[in-house]
Structure 1
């Protein structure tokens, strides 16, 4: 291994994790973070330390060891002293893997070069790389390409009971008199068929509050595309911008043309990349929208890094107030993925006790995890 670290440990950890996933291993994002922290601790000076740092954090099952060993040999050993890599190299990495041969009829005859291991070509498409790339590192072209990935996300909230009744396929305590009488008339007055009704379900409303302050600028432009995909892709989604003021932008984002929608939202939000007062913004949301009905039994998602210039006590009070009326309160923080991150910002520390889920928000893959959290019962 190299005596000089030529790449950031976090970049190496993410790249090696992609290789393992392409080889079929299931590696959660949390394991990638742990591996990055381990690399920071052990460095790249000694091969055994790097090997066991990855083995302990990434290979979670005994059967993963063989694939891990092959991947490690290609990714680290064959690279020699240079462990740096660029995106183009990530697009095509070959890993030789062992294949079990259960053919008992092998009598030792020559079957070719036994030293040649089967090779699996792991080809990472640009789309796959883009899914895991940090929003802050996106180019303008990548932002446009990410829009298609955002629109593929299925933002479906958990169902809740509705006051409306619908047909029931089986006997229940609520007979449908009207349909039963209609069926009786059709059968000549004989009650041959009975109909029943039962309460139906409806999807919960989803409310998205996007922090558009200066500290969120590297992420807000990508997250706005996620918000647009949510508003344009399903009903009962409300979108607000949080900055020095609260701005409702649901109507501007309803257009399915992203260019039209994003331009309208940018014109609507006058305090883009300015300061932020999360407590004041949430107080206005609670007073004018949330507590009055928009947030009641809804899923509310706050997309913010937690940096706030306002009073943290005000933010804590408004978060507690909002949490009392929502079905689920989710906070999405793009900085959570950072190795060693701790919610030390005043705003984040004040809000966290009142949050049901605290999730990452730095990439398309993180947004996919957010959709899973939103869809939970």
Structure 2
């Protein structure tokens, strides 16, 4: 096996660590424990990868830090996101606190906030203990799980930063619909044309019955995001969620904002970098954190986009708390028309997942009879459940 060279300067920076010491059995036990830490950190480490990892270590000098690093990186990581988690887990496992080189703390750059600081009782990044170097994998896994259920409108700046990273890990699957076109398939109805053409090539003998089945195509998805003042605590997270969905299926997803007017932001959210995309979308939205006229804005969407094909047989998702400054009769009428055009109409209310919630807001009461689903949208966990509902639509 060819051993890769030592990490180049372009590789992620890693603090120096003491070389592993101990017997071979102790070292192998420690490497197996390292794979468990990686699995807890979110890296999908399978048994085959663990076997390949141990075989690579058997042919290398396990006491050499660089060789041990590259052996794990080349066998345990299968995705670019896995490399980031691997670079965090490696020094935390193989570099005990007591063996870390002492240096002037003021000369080192500040460490990024850790998920361990997001546990209950923390203010989002301040730690009274002296040991704040190196990531804490077990605490990070627990903190990530807690963060998935935290209210998006009550996050600290450090928690919002970690939430943005978790958002990029979402992999939404678009809903599909049956197409009128047929394609070759081992199962399904008989294909007489292909069967006869094959028989002509065999002097009229039919040796095999060709079959065909309906193909699947992505179903359109429309995201309508309320950016009024009452939705301001959730607007940033919902916009990042919309960016992930649009980037996943740029040809079949449309995104609009609702406020005092309707704004299409699909083109801006198609940018690859989320910060650039949100900055461009912010410049395009003239009524951010303003008033709410849901009835008039939904009417504008139905007249300009919905009837012209954007909402026909599509999954329409409305993100709003239902507060309406105008009359609710118009909102109920437009929700009824939108439900007739769409394949499924889903309303996501950030307050629906809280204890004691009741759909008493005027907008929710007017639109509720025409909704297929009323879901919560106050946390990352509820947004993941929304993706499942959309995918199964």
Partner of 1:331: 347
> Do the aligned partners of 2:311 and 2:341 also contact (CA within 8 Å) in 1?
yes
Q: Within 5 Å, which residues of 2 pair with 1:291-306?
A: 291-306=307-322
Partner of 1:230: 245
CA distance in 1, matches of 2:379, 2:140: 20
Question: Do structure 1's residue 200 and structure 2's residue 215 form an aligned pair?
Answer: yes
Question: Do structure 1's residue 366 and structure 2's residue 382 form an aligned pair?
Answer: yes
> Tell me, what secondary structure is at the counterpart of 2:352?
helix
CA distance in 2, matches of 1:153, 1:171: 34
Q: Which structure is richer in relative contact order (CA contacts within 8 A, separation 6 or more)?
A: 1
Question: Do structure 1's residue 249 and structure 2's residue 284 form an aligned pair?
Answer: no
Partner of 2:47: none
Structure 1 segments of 4 or more deviating over 6 A?
none
> Do the aligned partners of 1:151 and 1:233 also contact (CA within 8 Å) in 2?
no
1:291 positional shift: 2.2
1:143 positional shift: 2.6
Task: Describe the superposition over 1:250-274 as per-residue Cα deviations: whole angstroms up to 9, x where unpaired.
Answer: 1100112101111111111111101
**Structure 1 unpaired stretches of 5+:** 1-84, 90-120
1:178 positional shift: 5.1
> Tell me, what secondary structure is at the counterpart of 1:336?
coil
Partner of 1:318: 334
Partner of 2:357: 341
Partner of 1:86: 121
Partner of 2:169: 152
CA distance in 1, matches of 2:151, 2:364: 21
Task: Describe the superposition over 1:144-198 as per-residue Cα deviations: whole angstroms up to 9, x where unpaired.
Answer: 32233223334334432111211121362433x358636854x688654443322
CA distance in 2, matches of 1:252, 1:239: 10
> Do the aligned partners of 1:154 and 1:371 also contact (CA within 8 Å) in 2?
no
Q: Within 5 Å, which residues of 2 pair with 1:128-139?
A: 128-139=145-156
> Tell me, what secondary structure is at the counterpart of 2:312?
coil
> Do the aligned partners of 1:153 and 1:371 also contact (CA within 8 Å) in 2?
no
> Tell me, what secondary structure is at the counterpart of 2:191?
coil
Question: Do structure 1's residue 174 and structure 2's residue 196 form an aligned pair?
Answer: no
CA distance in 2, matches of 1:239, 1:137: 25
CA distance in 1, matches of 2:387, 2:221: 11
TM-aligned CA distance change 1:122 to 1:214, over 3 Å: closer
CA distance in 2, matches of 1:238, 1:325: 15
Partner of 1:75: none
TM-aligned CA distance change 1:218 to 1:183, over 3 Å: farther
Question: Do structure 1's residue 212 and structure 2's residue 247 form an aligned pair?
Answer: no
> Tell me, what secondary structure is at the counterpart of 2:160?
helix
Partner of 1:61: none
TM-aligned CA distance change 1:262 to 1:183, over 3 Å: farther
CA distance in 1, matches of 2:304, 2:229: 25
CA distance in 2, matches of 1:165, 1:352: 38
Task: Describe the superposition over 1:84-110 as per-residue Cα deviations: whole angstroms up to 9, x where unpaired.
Answer: x51489xxxxxxxxxxxxxxxxxxxxx
TM-aligned CA distance change 1:196 to 1:272, over 3 Å: same
Partner of 1:162: 179
- Give the alignment's TM-score, normalised by structure 2: 0.61
TM-aligned CA distance change 1:170 to 1:358, over 3 Å: closer
CA distance in 1, matches of 2:178, 2:255: 24
> Tell me, what secondary structure is at the counterpart of 2:346?
strand
> Do the aligned partners of 2:190 and 2:209 also contact (CA within 8 Å) in 1?
no
TM-aligned CA distance change 1:180 to 1:260, over 3 Å: farther
CA distance in 2, matches of 1:329, 1:281: 16
1:132 positional shift: 1.0
> Tell me, what secondary structure is at the counterpart of 1:255?
coil
> Tell me, what secondary structure is at the counterpart of 1:239?
strand
Partner of residue 324 from structure 2, selected from 308, 333, 342: 308
